[in-house]
Amino acid sequence: MSRSHVVSSHRDQLRKSIALLFVMAMLVAAAGVYGQDLVRPSFAGQAASEARQEDISRIPYNLLLGPVRFRVGATVGAEYNDNVNYAEINTQDDFIITPSLSLDAIWPVTQLNTLRLDLGIGYSFYLDHSNYNTNTILIAPKSQIAFDIFVGDFRINIHDRMQLQQDPIQEGALSNVAKYGRFENTAGISVLWDLNKLLLTVGYDHYNFVSTTSIFDYLDRNAEIVYGSAAFIVTPTITIGPEANAVFTRYDQSVLNDNTDYSAGGFVEAKLTNNLRVRAAAGYQWIDFDHNFVIVPFGPFAFIVPDNKNLSDYYVNGLIAHRLSATISQTLSAGHENQLGVNSNYITLNYVRHTMSWNLIRNTLLSTEFFFEDARESGGFAGFGGGQLGTPEHFHRIGGAITVGYQLTPHVTLGARYQGTSKDSNLFLRDYNQNRISVDATYSF
């Protein structure tokens, strides 16, 4: 038996052992707390459903069709972007007009079942570079159809979450690209079982990624996602427990590698005061890829570029939410994680993000954002050509934004925003600086 086969066998046994320990921990905990006396209302029972119905009745709506409540809004935005193609040289600036429509609907089907629809659609016009216009309609990231069912101490959520976006700003590994069109859809089910001192959550999702920009067709893929957690309520303000998930990803093309991703760890949540809440999670992650290389098509030819076949690394993330006063609140998050790459098997990301909201003037909301990223690709073809073949990209990105919103009338809201982003890469011609200034007006029917 080869050494690599032995190592692989030991690795598989370790994963199975961790998964078994995770399941056993949840079952033992459940057995230990199931018979305890009730100390709080169930998060999943009829009382919780009735409380949610009361919350729904308070949600403002502007249209009513039978039992279905609607909120409808229309927005027109105008933006100036001094670097729409995320380039270091030969940058292109443009004015972009984006009309959009938002629709939120809530239907209490029965006392215990609620159907929700959140949908935002839009379109972007580039005044100077019409070839960058949106290929199809845009779908806002938080769009979803969700159905909540309450049965005894179970809360079942059936959902379908979708988005269709084009702006590359969310993908730090991209440079010299103006259009990164992609449709992402996540459909699945999650079940929460409330056992008083223990909350068990399990779920399954099917994920699809479909590129709407031809040069990124190689990213088309689907994934099966299985996850679970056990939250022990130590005190009314402290919750701890284990968490784990497994993701099985398959690509339509053979540029990047099919892979299997496992992670297991634990988390703690604490409400330290009425105005201060913290959450921290940490664990270990393993990703196995089919090959230790990626294939780069180049006209009638194809090049094999070295990459890492396996990943074994820790993950950690934390969040602090602090309400400083009745008018000022902030959140701070940071973490270390590994994600699938767009130019390589995976990318390792360290990040810090901060947001703050200021509501100091009546009808006016001011918010600020800041982020920093330190990322390194596992290999791949970001440096393809220019003597950088197979050189992994290592980059830093820093950016921030300031947004002002003003409620002009009960139906009209005005907004203005500045956003700046800067990327510093170790590869040739992959740095960029970008500034964006935008204004918008929203009418709520």
Closest CA to 355 of 326, 319, 397: 319
Stretch among 109-113, 192-196, 279-283, 432-436 having the lowest mean pLDDT:
109-113
Taking the C-alpha atoms of residue 122 and residue 113, their distance in angstroms, rounded to an integer, is 30
pLDDT digits (tens, 9 = 90+) for 238-276: 999 999 999 999 999 999 999 999 999 999 999 999 999
pLDDT at residue 302, rounded to an integer: 82
Q: Is 21 helix (H, G, I), strand (E, B) or coil?
A: helix
Mean pLDDT of the chain: 88
What backbone torsions phi and psi does residue 252 show, to the nearest 5 degrees? -75, -35
Residue pair 124/134 in contact by the 8 Å Cβ criterion: yes
Q: Check: CB of residue 33 under 8 Å from CB of residue 193.
A: no
**Which residues on neighbouring strands pair with residue 404, listed in sequence order?**
366, 416
CATH of domain 3-444: 2.40.160
Are the CB atoms for 315 and 348 separated by under 8 Å? no
Of 206, 159, 168, 169, the closest CA to residue 184 belongs to: 206
* DSSP 8-state secondary structure symbol assigned to residue 168: G
Examine the pLDDT at 34 and tell me if it is beyond 80: no
Domain segments of the chain: what residues?
3-444
124-144 pLDDT, tens digit each: 999 999 999 998 899 999 999
Q: What does the block give as tokens for 351? A: 């990040």
34 vs 359 pLDDT, higher one: 359
Within 10 A of 184 (CB to CB), how many other CB atoms are there? 15
What local confidence, expressed as pLDDT, does residue 25 receive? Answer: 40
